[in-house]
Every structure is written in C-alpha cells, then in structure tokens.
Amino acid sequence: MSRFTVNGQPVHYRMDAKTPLLWALRDASNLTGTKYGCGTGHCGACTVHVDGRAVRSCMVTIEELEGSFVTTIEGLSRDRSHPVQQAWVAESVPQCGFCQSGMIMAAAALLEKNERPTDADIERAMTNICRCGTYSRVREAIRRAGR
C-alpha cells in the first residue's frame, strides 16, 4: 500500500505495489488524460509530474511514490488553462492529440525550471514522440509560453 497525493488529493491504492503509476491513475483514479503509448519509457505519452519533475508514469511503480506529490494533466491547472495549454491552443499544436497531454506535462516541467529555454534546451527536454510530427508547433508553443 502506497500513500501519496495525486492532484492534491491523498490516494491510497489497494493494488499490487509493483503496479505502474500509469495504471493506477487510469484504472483506479479514472484520470485517463495520462495515455498509454509504449509502456517502456520511450514515447512519453504517459508523462506526469512527480514532485515537479516530468516522469514517465509507466516506468515508476506506486511503491516508489511514497510521500510524493503527483500531478496529472487534469491537475495541471485548477480554474483556468495553464499558460502552456493556452500556448498549445494559440499555436494549434495537436493533430490526433493522443500524445499531447504528455507533451504538455513535459513542456510545463521544462518551463517551471527554465522560463526561457533555448532551442537546445527544448531539444534536450522534449523527448516525447508524436506520430503526427507536431514537433515544430510544440517548439513554437513552448517559446510562446515562455515569453
């Protein structure tokens, strides 16, 4: 049994301790904005924040999260869209949309520690995969959100 918070709410999942966070979020908390893409840590569709850092939720088990603060796309912003989400809309980033919540979470974590990332910073931080190839719009949206 692991105790941590998700979007400010304490959670206490009665699941196998080795359950990846991704499945606890989707199956037990019904937070389906966090997506399953590869399950092997490569695509980034499952990106959430753990204690403010971008983390691939398919790669961390719930037992590893004891005492942590997890934020999902649903909790990124309370009452209005997060500036990254606003930039995403302004730049019409999504195509099919499947990878976009993970992209937004990765971008928000980047901008939290680096308000004015260079292209190289963006390249380094944004390793999420988009099968529609929205990468140039992702970069523009990050630049816009950082202004």
Nearer to ligand FES, 58 or 76 (CB): 58
**Residue 65 Cβ vs ligand FES, minimum distance, rounded to whole Å:** 15
Do 44 and 102 touch, CB atoms closer than 8 A? yes
Nearer to ligand FES, 8 or 41 (CB): 41
Do 140 and 117 touch, CB atoms closer than 8 A? no
Helices (H), the chain: 21-23, 83-90, 100-113, 119-125, 135-146
**Residue 62 per-residue DSSP state:** G
Summarize as ranges the residues that interact with ligand FES (CB under 6 A): 36-39, 41-46, 56, 58
Nearer to ligand FES, 37 or 117 (CB): 37
**Residue 5 Cβ vs ligand FES, minimum distance, rounded to whole Å:** 21
Nearer to ligand FES, 58 or 87 (CB): 58
**Residue 108 Cβ vs ligand FES, minimum distance, rounded to whole Å:** 17
**Residue 43 Cβ vs ligand FES, minimum distance, rounded to whole Å:** 3
Do 2 and 62 touch, CB atoms closer than 8 A? yes
Of the candidates 94, 74, 91, the one whose C-alpha atom is nearest the C-alpha of residue 145 is 91
